[in-house]
Structures are given as C-alpha cells and as structure tokens.
Amino acid sequence: MSIDTPPYSIHYQIIPSHPKAHIFTVQVTVDDPAYQGQKFSLPAWIPGSYMIRDFAKNIIQIHAQSNGKDIAIKQLDKQTWLCEPCHHALTISYDVYAWDLSVRSAHLDTQHAFFNGSSVFLAVEGQTHKSCDVLILPPDSGGYDNWKVATTMPRMDCEQYEFGLYHCADYEELIDHPVEISDFMVLDFSVETIPHHIVFNGRLHPDTDFSRIKKDLQKICQQHISFFQYHIPFKEYLFIHLTVGEGYGGLEHRSSSALLSSRNDLPSRYQAKMTDAYQTFLGLCSHEYFHSWNVKRIKPTAFTPYHLEQENYTTLLWAFEGITSYYDDLALVRSGCINDEEYLSLFAKTITRVYRHNGRTKQTLQQSSFNAWTTFYQQNENAPNAIVSYYAKGALAAFALDMTIRNYSNHTRSLDDLMQILWQRYGEPGIGVMDSDIELIAEELANTSLHEFFNYILRSTQDIDLHQFFSQMGITQHFRPAINNQDRGGEQSLQKAAIQQLCVDWGMRVKNTQITHIFDYGSAQQAGLASGDEIIAINGLRADNNIDTLLSRYQPGDMLTLHIFRRDELLEKSLILQLPQENVCDLYLQENATTEQQQYRQHWLHPE
C-alpha cells in the first residue's frame, strides 16, 4: 500500500540475519548528522514495564561509516555512543543479541522473530522528533519463505503482513509498534468498523476454538470502546500472541499489545464451560486493550514525555495499573463473556492476592507505585512480607473509589464517569495527569471532600473495608483458610476442610518441596526455615508432592520434625503448627438480596 509521506532524513533497516545465533542486524542512516558529532543511544527501559533493563547490553558490535569510509565511534556510557564529525550521511551498523522470550524485549530463533523497537533501534539524539522510515527484511538464508510481518507500524510500499518499507512520525512512535515475524496464524474481526487482528505464533492445540476467541474478543473490545464513548484512538488494532507451554505477560502499545501465555489457556472446541485458564487469557487481552486509553494516552506527567535513559517516578501507578486491573475483569462480565458468579470468583482471587501477604501492612499504594522500579519489578524472596501490589490492591482501591462516588452521588456518577473525564481533559489533548488530579475529579463527582478517603486507601497501610460495599449489593464476603497450597480464593469452598499451614509458598524441585517464600509470623519462620530450603521429610516420612496430604493429618499445636536440605547441608527443624490463617476470600450472591441491593448490583455489573 503506497501513501503520500514527507521526505525522511532518518532511515532504519532491520533483518533477522542469524536466527540460529539469535542475531538481528540493524542499520540507522542519518542524512544530516550533527556537525559536532552525532550521538546515538538505546533506551534503558520500555514504557509499560517499570524496570531498568539496559537493552544496550545486547549490542554485540557496532560500526560507523560515512561517504564510504569508516568513522570513529566511541561509547560514552552504558547506552550512548558518539561518532566523530562528518559532512555526509552517516550509517551505524550493529548486531543485537535477541534471546528474551518475553513481551518486553526481543527474541529470535528458527521459529520466529519478535522485537520491540526500544530493544533494537538506536535513537538519533537531537533528532528524535523527526519522522523516519523502516525497512524490515526477511532472513538471508533459506527456510523462512513462509515468514510474514505483523505490526501496526504504518506501511509505505508493502501490503499488510509483508516485508518492506514502513514509516513512523517520530522515535516515540517507532518504539511503540512491536513486530512479530513468523508463519503466524491470523484472526480478523471488526469493532465499530475498526479492523482488529490477533496473530498466534507458536504451536497451538488442534482443537483450539478460534471462533470463540474471536467472538469473545470482539465483545470485550466493543465494551471498552463503548466505555470511552466511542472515542477510538487508533485506526486498527493488533494482538500479538506469543504462544508457549508456560508463561504469562502482556505489554500495551498505542495500537497493539504483545501477549505471552500458555496454549492451555486457549479454549477447546470440546469445552463448553468457561475455564479459569481461558478467563485468564481474556482478562489479559482486556487489560492491555484498556491501556490503549489508560496509560498510553491518559498518562502521568512523569511520562509526558518519557525519559528512557533513567527511571521515571510517579505515585500514580495504582491508578494506571490498578484501575486497569479493576476494569479488565469487569469488562468480561459487562460484555457477557462471563456471568456474575464467575466475575465474583475473579474478584475474590484479587482480594486474596492482597490479603495473603503481610506486605500490605508495610507499604502504601503510593509507595508501591513510586518504588515499582526496584521493589515490585525486582522482587526477592521476602517480597510477600515487604510490598503490596499496585495492580491487585490498586484494583481494590478502584472498586472502593467507584462505590464511594456512587454512594455520595446517589448512584448518578461512578468511576466510569471519572475515567471518561480523564480522557476528555487529559488523554485526548495529551496533557499529563498530576498526582492530585484524580482526587479532585473524584471530589467533583461526589460533590464532597474525599481527602480522608484518599489518605486511607492511598497513603495508609490499612486494609480497605470492602464488606460495607458488598453488603449494599447483596454480596457476602467470606474469609477462610486455604484448602491447599494452590488455593487462591474464589472457589466458594466453605464445606472443604483446610489443611494445616506452614505459612510458606513452595514449588517442586525434582521430587522434593522447595520453599520459595516464608511468610511473616508463621510457623515456618518461627521454626527457622528459610527460602530455598528443600523439605525432604515430615515426622520421618518423605515429603514430595504429597505434602498437603501429610499436613492434613495434623492439628494446630502439633509438633512436627522436618528434615530439610539447606544448600548441601542436612538440617533438622522442629515446628509447631499454627491455626490456619483466614486470608482466602470467597464472594457469594445472597439469595435473599432486596430489590434495592439487586438494583445497586445491576448498576455496577451491567450499566446501561
């Protein structure tokens, strides 16, 4: 497809040159390099994933040429290079090692190529505002004739899914269009005349129900577009799905999202029932799609513009990620993909994620947001005891804010209105949101001061009282002990017996149980167990994947003798079992809910 475009002075070229060695070869040509010497740099992080990743460490070799001659190039710091002055067009050539199978960076092998621009395209410093063209080429060697290109980067001289020339308005756009290159499968659908696509890379189960995926995604996308009153900020949308055996992740972009999840999350044609795994997949898609408005356009002042060479601190991630986490599952029930009971099960799991860990009593939501760069994205074995998730608790805060606005406005306003105002005042005109703006809009909608409310949910470590809101809608909130180590709540298992708890998380290592996290004040911590310990026996009996069964035979107060390996040393520990903690949540619809309660619930889950 040919389009009229302005002349470009910056030209990129990328080729998956050595798939077996996981190498991309990239060139950037600058027609008018800085006369005093042109600088180039690669971002240290990617928007949407708040951690310094130092992508430049994957550049293997770099060369510069001008007018057919080699030009000296000097590295100034971990991510910046300076070329000697030259008077003609300057070309930088370099190789990028790509072996990070995630949504954040770049990955290349003989099955596919995937990259985010922030991992592979050097920025031309001083010229990042300029438009550029991008030539995407196939591998030189044979065996890749079936490979195609999936991206929403605007095309110049090629058709959709073809190799060829693309263009971007500036560097920020260049790094906001992920690219998948492979023999992928495509699903197409439209929402409000806007073309939508989802491409699947990787081996898929032959019974995967693609028609159901397409139907459900169409409903979810329609729900979000309707939510934002049909203000659609893109001309097409692409879901890139990296299909794996195990894994989970997503990253939002201006007109696409990169998703990574298990092939087992996708529905089977032989499964009529909505599975938890498929709910997880739909929730991931919903989350990243909602980000097209909330964080890609409605964004904090700290991100306007992004400073990609260093951390960009904000206390508002509870809103940009937490509110998005609230609406991702809410959209599933509002769109009709799941029913009310299934949604409450999802919400109960979110509550459990917060209440299972003592970190919620030590870190506020604003602190969690501000310290995302270190404590959240670089978690260690003590994370459950030290931090709270601005995703999970942020979703609870969003729910509390939603209900508070509804109550003060006599159900005439809600968080839905707040998000639509944010779009109108900040997202559409491209103005950054300041720390106080969300609070001021909420007070405007509630017509009262909410200062103490925001102090309570954002700037204190108090548990958010959700029961008061659920009771208004005829919903019972119940906390109980876990029935096993995999119990994450929402299973409505009142009649099932809880196991006795060591107050740990664990995984399997060969046949032994390895402790991954020790929870504060629990029996394991009191006994001196530590993260990384392998439990090999309880009271003289081997402990492997039968540990739940072994523990179920004991009562609180019983003394256990544990044999463990700590590194290569065999240790014996005595442990006294504690009462199981009631930190797992279930939510139930009350059969005797009043008409008023049912109407309140209907306004929340199924607004007109």
Q: What pLDDT is attached to residue 53?
A: 98
CA–CA gap between residue 581 and residue 520 (Å, rounded)? 12
pLDDT of 6 > 70? The answer is no
Confidence bin at 8 (pLDDT 50/70/90): confident
Q: Which residues contact 585 (CB under 8 A, 6 or more apart)?
A: 348, 349, 351, 352, 355, 477, 478, 479, 489, 490
**Which distant-in-sequence residues (6+ apart) come within 8 Å of 387 by Cβ?**
359, 362, 363, 368, 371, 375, 376, 379
Question: What pLDDT is recorded for position 173?
Answer: 98
Tell if the pTM clears 0.85, that is, is over it.
Answer: yes
Can you give the pLDDT at residue 3? 44
At residue 272 the predicted structure's pLDDT band, cuts being 50, 70 and 90, is confident
Least confident of 130-139, 422-431, 576-585: 576-585
* Residue 608 predicted with pLDDT over 90: no
Over residues 94-121, the mean pLDDT reads 98
Higher-confidence residue of 73 and 508: namely: 73
Element (H, E) at 199: strand 194-201
Cα(252)–Cα(48) distance, integer angstroms:
7
- The percentage of residues in the chain with a pLDDT greater than 70, rounded to a whole number, is 96
Quick: pLDDT tens for 485-508: 778 788 655 455 555 567 777 665
What is the distance between the alpha carbons of residues 498 and 192, in angstroms, rounded to a whole number? 49
Question: Between these two residues, 3 and 303, which has the higher pLDDT value?
Answer: 303
What confidence tens digit (pLDDT) does each residue in 188-215 have? Answer: 999 999 999 999 999 999 999 999 999 9
Model confidence at 344: pLDDT above 90:
yes
Please write the tens of the pLDDT for every residue from 141-184.
Answer: 888 999 999 999 999 999 999 999 999 999 999 999 999 999 99
Per-residue model confidence as pLDDT tens digits over 209-261: 999 999 999 999 999 999 999 999 999 999 999 999 999 999 999 999 999 99
The C-alpha atoms of residue 331 and residue 227 are separated, in whole angstroms, by: 9
Mean pLDDT across the chain, nearest whole number? 94
For 191, 216, 458, 474, the CA distances from 338, given in Å and listed in that order, are: 20, 10, 30, 19
Per residue in 395-411, pLDDT tens? 999 999 999 999 999 99
Domains by residue range for the chain, with CATH: 10-183 (2.60.40.3650), 184-292 (1.10.390.10), 504-576 (2.30.42.10)
pLDDT at 2: 40
User: Nearest-CA neighbor of 96 among 186, 198, 180, 25?
Assistant: 25
How many Å apart are CA 420 and CA 316, to the nearest integer?
17
